[in-house]
């Protein structure tokens, strides 16, 4: 509420103690190649959706690992599951499965809730 | 490490604080917002300890707020401070006791500048002489008034009527100590415990029976930061710092915040009201806010002074919850009454009433 002529700025600190890492843990458990990602950005560079709209699989990957799941929730539906990212990944990460698992986790919270 | 080694290292973090004969310089903010604090200091030093504390009515602001707000040039503030030293020299004093942490930071900065750049000292002597015809000596001992209360903390503990103990539970009160950044973060050698282990307030709280809380943002700025709050649109930076600090201390359930800086005291007190109005957040127990006290006010409470004589009613966050915990006797009806019993107007929206 801007009552006094100024506003509160929310801190931009990544608070690992408070963030919810249960989605990332659920993906780790079901798709071990999630750990192999080196965040090179090959997936984002080749992404069909990312060429036209603001969408980056690399960014979502990092956000999931940090536990900032709200931002992932809003963006993950933009993926068209074309699979080009899996073809270019130098580490052989099964990116399509990661997307599917994340979507499932958001749809059925009981799967990963602590 | 052996104890001897520890003691030797700790000795390096100590500061020499004069014992008597102080030239006292007041703070601009404290006289308006915490009117009982400086009065308690003078009464305690003169009447209880029998020390010689002199103050000169010709003493002015140090212009520190203008200096940190980029309005007053360095050469001007050096000349203003030199005039204070001239008043001290003329009165025959060599020890200066400074009530404000901003002024304390300004004095230390200027004295260090003169040490490293003697030509600046000569220029200042010339400016002051041309403007006022005065000459000055640099003080031999410079102490913040919290240093002096720290030095005499055991004398206060001996006279304690209300130690920092929760009368209901028998546990020590949980104290958050907050030290002004300009006290020892700029020039650590001028502070008790330096910048790393400032001991000035925690020493007092422990001597008077309290328990000091160590929380993650303990050394974070209170949010005062002159330039942030002088411009209204920028005050969001200031209050965001305060929110960060209070968020960090909240889980430790502090009973009070103890400060030695006028700016910290004012902002940690008044921003709690603002945060409550903006977001509905409070940081104390049972939806209350945390009382923020100066070291003189706390010393006065410990020694059994009347809380309304100490000026606690002039804080935004009222101290009633703390007074009840300490077992201090008070009459809420006398809060806004003059000495001769006349009723003064009662402010609206007081917190913790």
ipTM of the complex model: 0.74
Q: Which domain holds residue A61?
A: 30-111
What domains appear along chain B, each with residue ranges and CATH number? Answer: 15-145 (1.20.1050.140), 161-334 (3.40.50.11810)
Domain-located, residue A7: no
DSSP string for residues in B304-353: T--TTTTTGGGSSB--HHHHHHHT----GGGTTB-TTSPBPPPPSS-B--
CB distance from B244 to chain A under 8 Å? yes
A1 lies in a domain?
no
Chain B residues with CB-CB distance to A4 below 8 A: 232, 235, 274, 277-278
Q: Note whether residue A2 is domain-resident.
A: no
Q: What is the CATH number of the domain that holds A107?
A: 1.10.1060.10
Would you call A7 and B236 a contact, using CB atoms and an 8 Å cutoff? Answer: yes
pLDDT digits (tens, 9 = 90+) for A37-80: 999 999 999 999 999 999 999 999 999 999 999 889 989 999 99
Q: Provide the whole-model pTM.
A: 0.85
Q: Please give the tally of structural domains in chain A.
A: 1
Residue A104 belongs to a domain = yes
Cβ separation A1–B278 shorter than 8 A: yes
Is A100 domain-assigned? Answer: yes
Residues of chain A with Cβ-Cβ distance to B233 below 8 Å are 5-6
Domain membership flag for residue A55: yes
Residue B97's H or E segment, with its range, is: strand B95-98
Which residues in A lie closer than 8 A to residue B236 (C-beta atoms)? Answer: 6-9
In a domain, residue A50? The reply is yes
Checking B11-15 for CB contacts under 8 A at 24+ apart, the result is: B13/B192, B13/B193, B13/B194, B13/B196, B13/B197, B13/B199, B14/B192, B14/B193, B15/B143, B15/B147, B15/B189, B15/B190, B15/B191, B15/B192
pLDDT tens for chain B, 353 residues: list them.
688 888 888 888 899 999 999 999 999 999 889 989 999 999 999 999 999 999 999 999 999 999 999 999 999 999 999 999 999 999 999 999 999 999 999 999 999 999 999 999 999 999 999 999 999 999 999 999 999 999 999 999 999 999 999 999 999 999 999 999 999 999 999 999 988 899 999 999 999 999 999 999 999 999 888 888 888 888 999 999 999 999 999 999 999 999 999 999 999 999 999 999 999 999 999 899 999 999 999 999 999 999 999 999 999 999 999 999 999 999 988 999 988 989 999 988 888 88
Per-residue pLDDT tens over the stretch A15-37: 888 888 899 999 999 999 999 99
> Could you tell me if residue A10 is inside a domain?
no
Distance of CA A90 to the CA centre of its chain: 19
Number of helices followed by number of strands (H, E) in chain A: 6, 0
What are the pLDDT digits (tens) for B198-244?
Answer: 999 999 999 999 999 999 999 999 988 888 888 888 899 999 999 99
């Amino acid at each position: 509420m801007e009552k006094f002529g100024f506003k509160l700025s929310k801190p931009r600190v990544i608070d690992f103690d408070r963030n919810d890492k249960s989605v990332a843990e659920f993906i780790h458990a079901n798709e071990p190649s999630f750990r192999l990602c080196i965040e090179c950005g090959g997936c984002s560079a080749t992404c069909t959706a990312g060429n036209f709209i603001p969408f980056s699989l690399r960014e979502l990957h990092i956000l999931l690992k940090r536990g900032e799941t709200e931002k992932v929730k809003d963006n993950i539906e933009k993926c068209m599951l074309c699979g080009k990212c899996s073809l270019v990944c130098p580490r052989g990460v099964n990116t399509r499965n990661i997307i599917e698992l994340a979507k499932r986790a958001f749809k059925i919270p009981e799967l990963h809730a602590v | 490490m052996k104890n001897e080694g520890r003691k030797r290292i700790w000795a390096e973090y100590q500061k020499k604080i004069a014992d008597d004969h102080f030239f006292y310089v007041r703070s601009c903010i404290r006289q308006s917002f915490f009117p009982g604090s400086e009065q308690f200091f003078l009464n305690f030093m003169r009447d209880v300890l029998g020390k010689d504390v002199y103050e000169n009515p010709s003493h002015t602001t140090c212009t520190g707020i203008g200096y940190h707000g980029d309005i007053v040039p360095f050469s001007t503030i050096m000349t203003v401070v030199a005039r204070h030293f001239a008043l001290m020299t003329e009165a025959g004093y060599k020890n200066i006791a400074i009530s404000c942490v901003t002024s304390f930071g300004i004095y230390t900065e200027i004295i260090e500048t003169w040490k490293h750049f003697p030509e600046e000292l000569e220029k200042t002597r010339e400016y002051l002489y041309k403007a006022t015809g005065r000459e000055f000596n640099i003080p031999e001992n410079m102490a913040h008034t919290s240093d002096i209360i720290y030095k005499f903390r055991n004398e206060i503990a001996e006279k304690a009527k209300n130690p920092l103990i929760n009368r209901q539970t028998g546990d020590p009160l949980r104290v958050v100590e907050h030290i002004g950044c300009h006290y020892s973060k700029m020039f650590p050698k001028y502070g008790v415990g330096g910048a790393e282990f400032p001991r000035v307030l925690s020493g007092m709280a422990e001597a008077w029976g309290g328990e000091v809380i160590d929380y993650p943002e303990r050394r974070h700025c209170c949010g005062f930061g002159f330039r942030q709050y002088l411009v209204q649109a920028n005050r969001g930076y200031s209050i965001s710092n305060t929110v960060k600090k209070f968020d960090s201390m909240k889980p430790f359930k502090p009973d009070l915040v103890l400060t030695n800086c006028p700016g910290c005291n004012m902002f940690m007190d008044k921003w709690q009201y603002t945060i409550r109005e903006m977001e509905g957040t409070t940081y104390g127990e049972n939806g209350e806010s945390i009382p923020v006290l100066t070291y003189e006010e706390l010393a006065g409470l410990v020694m059994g002074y009347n809380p309304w004589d100490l000026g606690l009613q002039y804080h935004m966050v009222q101290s009633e919850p703390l007074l009840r915990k300490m077992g201090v006797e008070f009459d809420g009806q006398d809060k806004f009454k003059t000495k001769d019993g006349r009723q003064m107007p009662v402010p609206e929206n007081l917190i913790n009433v």
